[in-house]
Amino acid sequence: MDNVTLLGLGIMGSAMARNILKAGFPLTVYNRTRAKAEELAAQGARVAVSPRQAAQGADVVISMVGDDAASQAIWLGEEGALAGAPPQAVLVECSTLSPAWVRELAQRAAARGLALLDAPVLGSKDAAEAADLKILVGGDAAALERARPVLEAISREIHHMGPGGSGAVMKLVNNLIVAVQATGLAEGLTLAERAGLNMEQVASLITSSSPGSPFVKAVVPRMLARDRSQTHFALRWMRKDLTYALRLADDLGVPMPTVAIAREMYRMAGNLGLDTADLARVVDVLRQS
């Protein structure tokens, strides 16, 4: 079986790593904070001390980190994964990144004779744990086929969106729509609460009527619950995604006033100390006003 490397062991990366191990692939992991790798080491993963060491001997190298800066730190430099990846390796960047950086990374990989797929995922914590992600792939079709057995271990659907950068663009399109839905939902629920409506009844009607998208059905209970202990998708990452989407829109001359306004809600959440809180807590921006 292919030797797999996974770089980044946050909420998503750790779940993906466990599923790769369950599928029987030899796995090497790297995380900036080594403690996060100990559980995986107990399950049979090899723990590397640098991205470069982790990538050595790999057939498929997957990165799952937070933003462009973290991706650059993982791939570049003398101890970066690009320096360690062997010529046969397929590089798979699953992080949600700016299309500009993804295309630059693909060029840097190509200069070393390596194929890069931008392959961000749809789905958060629960989907990652259940290997129920959807993967949006940009890049060479032949490289995708080489990586497909590994990607199938962490997902239920793989969509080849087109050339390099296509997966990154589609992920931003998806997330900007989710972000706007979340802010509209937060406003509606806060208005209903302030008006004294029965919130159990409100939730039932919203989730069973025209607003009731799969996302809305999933997030309404989390917005109404007072248990804030779990983070499925942190508010700071949504603000980052909207920033990348707005930069792309500027480059393409596409006006996005609704997205720009929604981003301010996520900026306000950060100002309230909610950066690492779950996406559903965007409602607390309004509750605290």
Residue 134's H or E segment, with its range, is: strand 133-138
Query: What separation in angstroms does the CA of 229 have from each of 14, 190, 277?
Result: 19, 21, 9
Question: CA angle at residue 242 from 138 to 185, to 5 degrees?
Answer: 115
> CB-based burial of residue 231 (10 Å sphere; 0-12 exposed, 13-18 middle, 19+ buried)?
middle
- Alpha-carbon distance of 279 to 219, in angstroms, equals 8
**Which token pair is 176?**
């900007």
- The phi and psi torsions of 62 (rounded to 5 degrees) equal -110, 135
Query: Which residues face 49 on adjacent strands?
Result: none
CB hemisphere CA count around 247 (13 angstroms): 14
Question: CA angle at residue 68 from 65 to 70, to 5 degrees?
Answer: 45
Q: Which of 92, 37, 23, 31 is nearest to 60 (CA)?
A: 92
Query: Which residues face 234 on adjacent strands?
Result: 278
Active site residue 22: no
First-to-last C-alpha distance (Å) of the chain: 55
Options 134, 171, 217, 240, the catalytic residue: 171
- Alpha-carbon distance of 49 to 33, in angstroms, equals 10
Catalytic site positions = 171
